[in-house]
Chains A and B, each alone.
Chain A
Amino acid sequence: MSKEVLTNLKTKFGDRVEIYEHNDRRAYVTVSNEDWIEVLRYMYEVEKGRLTTATGSDRPTGVELLYHFAIDTDRIVVNIRTTLKKPFPKIESLTQHYYAADFIEREIFDFLGVEFEGHPDPRKILSSHDRPADFHPMRRDE
Chain B
Amino acid sequence: MSTIIPIGPFHPVLEEPEYIQLYVNGETVESADIDLGRIHRGMELLAQEKTYDQDVFLIERICGICSASHSWAGSLAMEDIVGVKPPDRARYLRTIVHELERLHSHMLWVGLGGHILGYWTVFMWGWKYREPILDALEMITGNRQHYAWYKAGGVRRDVADEIWPEVLKIIDEFAGHVDMLTGAILDDPVIQGRLKGVGILTKEDAIHYGTLGPTARGSGFDIDVRRDEDYGAYDEVDWNVIVQPDGDCLAVAVVRLLEMKESCKIIKQCIDKLPGGPIATEIREFPRGEGVGHVEAPRGESFHYIRSNGTNMPERHKMRAPTFTNIPSFRPRVKGESISDAVLIFAIIDPCYSCTERMAVLDPSGKPFMTGKDLIKLSHEKTEKLRRES
Contact = CB atoms under 8 A, between A and B. Distances in A.
Q: Do A and B interact with each other, yes or no? A: yes
Interface of A: 22-23, 25-26, 28, 50-53, 55, 57, 66, 68, 70, 72-73, 75, 77, 79, 98-104, 124-128, 137-138
Q: Which 6 A-B pairs have the closest CB atoms?
A: A100-B210, A72-B228, A126-B37, A55-B318, A53-B320, A57-B316
Contact of B36 (A75, A125, A137, A138): A125
Interface centre among A50, A102, A137 (most CB of B within 10 A): A50
Interface residues of B, number: 35
B223 A22 contact: no
A67 to B, nearest CB: 11
Nearest to A121: B33
B15 to A, nearest CB: 13
A127 B210 contact: no
A57 B308 CA distance: 13
Interface in B33-78: 35-37, 40, 42, 44-45
A55 B316 contact: yes
Given A53-B303, A66-B305, A25 B324 contact: no
B284 interface: no
Given A53-B318, A53-B325, A128-B37, A22 B230 contact: no
B367 interface: no
22 contacts: A22-B80, A25-B229, A26-B80, A26-B292, A50-B207, A51-B210, A55-B305, A55-B316, A68-B303, A68-B305, A70-B301, A75-B228, A79-B290, A102-B328, A103-B324, A103-B325, A104-B325, A124-B37, A125-B36, A127-B40, A128-B40, A137-B42
A52 B228 CA distance: 13
Contacts of A66: 305
B209 A72 contact: no
A75 B223 contact: no
A23 to B, nearest CB: 7
Nearest to A52: B303
Interface of B is mostly: mixed
Nearest to B41: A126
A66 B307 CA distance: 11
Nearest to B292: A77
A75 B80 CA distance: 15
Interface of A is mostly: mixed
Contacts of B40: 126-128
Nearest to B205: A99
Interface in B259-291: 289-291
Interface of B: 35-37, 40, 42, 44-45, 80, 83, 207-210, 223, 225, 228-230, 289-292, 294, 301, 303, 305, 307, 315-316, 318, 320, 324-325, 327-328
Contact of B294 (A52, A55, A103): A52
A51 B229 CA distance: 15
A54 to B, nearest CB: 8
A142 B233 CA distance: 47
A103 B292 contact: no
Contacts of B210: 50-51, 98-101
A23 B82 CA distance: 11
A97 to B, nearest CB: 10
A115 B45 CA distance: 21
Contact of B228 (A70, A79, A104): A70
Nearest to B321: A53
Contacts of A53: 303, 305, 318, 320, 324-325
Given A22-B80, A25-B230, A125-B37, A68 B292 contact: yes
Interface centre among B83, B290, B315 (most CB of A within 10 A): B290
